[in-house]
Structure 1
Amino acid sequence: MGLFEKIFKRPGARSAPEGFFETFTAYTPVFTNWNGKIYESELVRSAINARATHISKLNVKIGGDATPSLAAKLKTGPNEWQTWGQFLYRLSTILDVQNTAFIVPVYDLNWELSGVYPVLPSYCEIIQYDGEPWIRYQFRNGDHAAVELKYCGIMNKFQYSDDFFGESNLALAPTMELIDIQNKGIREGVKSAATFRFMAKVNNFAKPEDLAKERKRFTKENLQGEGGVLLFPNTYSEIQQIKSSPFIADTDQMNFIKQNVFDYFGINEDVLQNKAFGDKWSAFYEGSVEPFAIQFSDVSTKMLFTEQERASGSFLMATANRLQYMSNTEKLNVSAQMADRGIMNRDEIREIWNLEPLPDGQGKAYTIRGEYYLLGADGSVTRKGDDLTSGNQ
């Protein structure tokens, strides 16, 4: 049994579907894997990798009392083959490359939900069967599978014409062509720089046969040996080197190409080179990582829990401790101010510094500096260490 059989245990529709699921836009709800091969570009792959790497560090939490067995399973990982970091990294990569990412449920031998898995179909369509919309997948190896839409998750970007799926990356095609032309220019420039070419005028040869014999002689004696110095007889004149100047984009043009890619994927060079921290990383988080986390949390919560379970407080949420990306000076200032005022306990402050919680619950206590006063809802004021409560002051 392979991965396909392990994931898609649910039986598909046994009879013919009733047709495509009707949408508002009148577009046939079909997703086709875009073969633009943007992931083969070094710059684009670096941009996608930078975003996916930060997204893979999100912390996935399960809340609520619904299906405690599922919560226990998801706490250790999304499925038996991946960690949460690997799952989020691949899901982010698929979303950036295809602008549509599918999450399917994984069931155990007892047909109980045991996890989730990101799939990359080559073709997908939403059909109607027995009055319910189903997603029917087709993969490159020819396998097919169908799962009810309500049990699947669909994440998308650049969603416009289709009610379910995102657009292709065709808008990036002009930039990809510029990148390809630039790379070819660099390769040809390196080849030209390593090649010595010359031209010369040959005297005293009137017949074409004599020129052909001289060309063969010169090639055999100068270009088929172990190398060295080219020797020209006195019958050669006006000898000069042929220099080629291949076109290579200048710095401004290269920066323009890079900026197009960075703008498209929502990153910058500081993030790409791991230089972003503090406010710069917070801006990247809010603009790129957080939207992914919110969409993933909403999509996963909807596919894993029923409406009643969600109403009672069950959820899946992907979060990140943004304070960990501050500079040490900023961390120290936040730690001191939050601890002095009793806003954060010792364990929460230790988390900012990537430290483990204190044993036996010692870090759950809050510390408030002595000169601070607690103003009660009734107007009473209590100073730290005082046993009595005074009136309004």
Structure 2
Amino acid sequence: MGLFEKLFPRRPPDADPRAYFKTLTAYQPVYTTYRGGLYEMALTRAAIAAFARHCSKLHLEIVGDFRPELAPVLGQQPNPWMDASKFIARLATIYQVQNNAFIVPVEDAAGRLVGYYPVLPQQTSIREYGGAPYLQYEFWGGQRAAVELSRAGLLTQHQYEDDFFGADNRPMLPTLQVMRTQDEGIVNGIKNATTIRFLARLAANLKQKDIDAERKRFAKDNLEGNNTGVMMFDSKYADVKQIESTALVVNPKQQELIRESVFEYFGTNEKILTNTYTEDEWNAYYEGSIEPFAIQLSLVLTAMTFTPAEIAQGAGIIATANRLQYASNNTKLNIVTQLFDRGFLTHNMGLEIFNMPPVEDGDKYYIRKEYAEVSKLNTETDPTGTTEPKEGDNGDHTGDP
């Protein structure tokens, strides 16, 4: 059994429902992959790869008491073919390139959800069968399958025209064309600069075949077989000039405008791509790009995994990240010091912030004992837990301000 059959073991009786699911917009609910070269350009791929690389460090965790057996699946191996890091990275890459990312459930023989798989179809449409909407996939190899919309996952961005799907990246097409023209211009400029090295003007009018023959002779005698470093020519030539080889490059201001256009579109910057960001710059990138993806991924996986009743009782899947790993050591020290003695962090939580291994019995919470409630500032608590007035205090506070 191949991968396709494992991912789509059961299909609706009519594998190609003809009726489109009725939507509120005038657009048919169809998404077609747009191959505009977005992932083929170096700069745009770098922006996409940086996003996917950081998203791959998200942790998928189960919240609540339902489906605890899925905790290792989400945390380690969402499907038999990829680990959690690869799963999230591929999903994030598809999400950035296509603005639509699809997740299909991996089920066992009994039809029970046991994993998740990101798919990249050539075309997807919302079809109706038996009164229910289905996601119908058409893949590059010609395979076709459908799965209930309620069982599948769909992440989108730039969603405007369609009720289900996000728009493609056509607004980036002019920038991509300029980038490609830039690259071709640089290559051709270098080739041309190194092709013609001398310009010679003949003193007489010759036939074309004589000119070609003289060009070959002159090049052979003076450029190929000349070991003296001295070029000689007779009265056949009125003038011989050397061409300075200067490679043509694109205007730096134009290059900067193109880079800024890409950075603005993907919500990133030079420092994120080169891993030279500060903790404040990382936090801004996380909140602007990584966190929205993490929230949407959490909601989509939650809807795929749990029933509405289970979700109402607190069941869910969350995608979290240890953002403090990117903070400076001073920031980490201040946070751990302030939160540990207030009972917010354990020893092992503090060690994790510093990328250190946990210790035995390090999951206990501690709190400083000199803290007291404002309403009990004039009382003391003995080891038995009873509260008594302080010495010299009769407990009568009538008339106190």
**TM-score computed with the length of structure 2 as normaliser:** 0.89
1:295-334 to structure 2, matched below 5 A, reads 295-334=296-335
Aligned-partner Cα distance in 1 for 2:12–2:289: 37
1:171-186 to structure 2, matched below 5 A, reads 171-186=171-186
8 Å CA contact 2:344, 2:365 repeated in 1: no
- How far residue 44 of structure 1 moved from its aligned partner, in angstroms, is 0.5
Aligned-partner Cα distance in 2 for 1:115–1:292: 20
One-letter amino acid of the counterpart of residue 166, structure 1: G
**Residue of structure 2 in register with 1:109 after alignment:** 109
Aligned-partner Cα distance in 2 for 1:301–1:28: 27
In structure 1, the residue corresponding to 2:372 is in which secondary structure?
strand
Cα–Cα, structure 1 residues 381 and 184, in superposed 2: closer, same or farther, change >3 Å? farther
Deviations 1:52-93 (A, max 9, x none): 111100011012222333345334321111111111101110
**Residue of structure 1 in register with 2:249 after alignment:** 248
**Residue of structure 1 in register with 2:339 after alignment:** 338
**Residue of structure 1 in register with 2:44 after alignment:** 44
Cα–Cα, structure 1 residues 207 and 122, in superposed 2: closer, same or farther, change >3 Å? closer
Aligned-partner Cα distance in 2 for 1:278–1:70: 33
> Bigger shift: 178-187 or 71-80?
71-80
Same amino acid, percent of matched pairs? 43
Instruction: Provide structure 1 residue ranges, at least 5 long, that are not aligned to the other structure.
Output: none
One-letter amino acid of the counterpart of residue 251, structure 1: P
- How far residue 217 of structure 1 moved from its aligned partner, in angstroms, is 3.2
8 Å CA contact 1:338, 1:344 repeated in 2: yes
- How far residue 382 of structure 1 moved from its aligned partner, in angstroms, is 5.1
Deviations 1:6-55 (A, max 9, x none): 11112233365250001111211111011101111111111111111111
Cα–Cα, structure 1 residues 88 and 45, in superposed 2: closer, same or farther, change >3 Å? same
One-letter amino acid of the counterpart of residue 110, structure 1: A
- How far residue 231 of structure 1 moved from its aligned partner, in angstroms, is 4.3
Aligned-partner Cα distance in 2 for 1:24–1:345: 51
Cα–Cα, structure 1 residues 248 and 64, in superposed 2: closer, same or farther, change >3 Å? same
1:181-330 to structure 2, matched below 5 A, reads 181-205=181-205, 210-222=210-222, 231-242=232-243, 248-330=249-331
- How far residue 247 of structure 1 moved from its aligned partner, in angstroms, is 5.1
The answer on 1:88 being equivalent to 2:85 is no
8 Å CA contact 2:306, 2:316 repeated in 1: yes
Aligned-partner Cα distance in 1 for 2:207–2:59: 82
**TM-score computed with the length of structure 1 as normaliser:** 0.90
Cα–Cα, structure 1 residues 390 and 133, in superposed 2: closer, same or farther, change >3 Å? same
Cα–Cα, structure 1 residues 218 and 386, in superposed 2: closer, same or farther, change >3 Å? farther
One-letter amino acid of the counterpart of residue 342, structure 2: R
Q: Note the aligned Cα RMSD (angstroms).
A: 2.7
- How far residue 345 of structure 1 moved from its aligned partner, in angstroms, is 2.2
**Residue of structure 1 in register with 2:20 after alignment:** 20
Task: Kindly tell me the number of residue pairs found equivalent between the two proteins.
Answer: 390
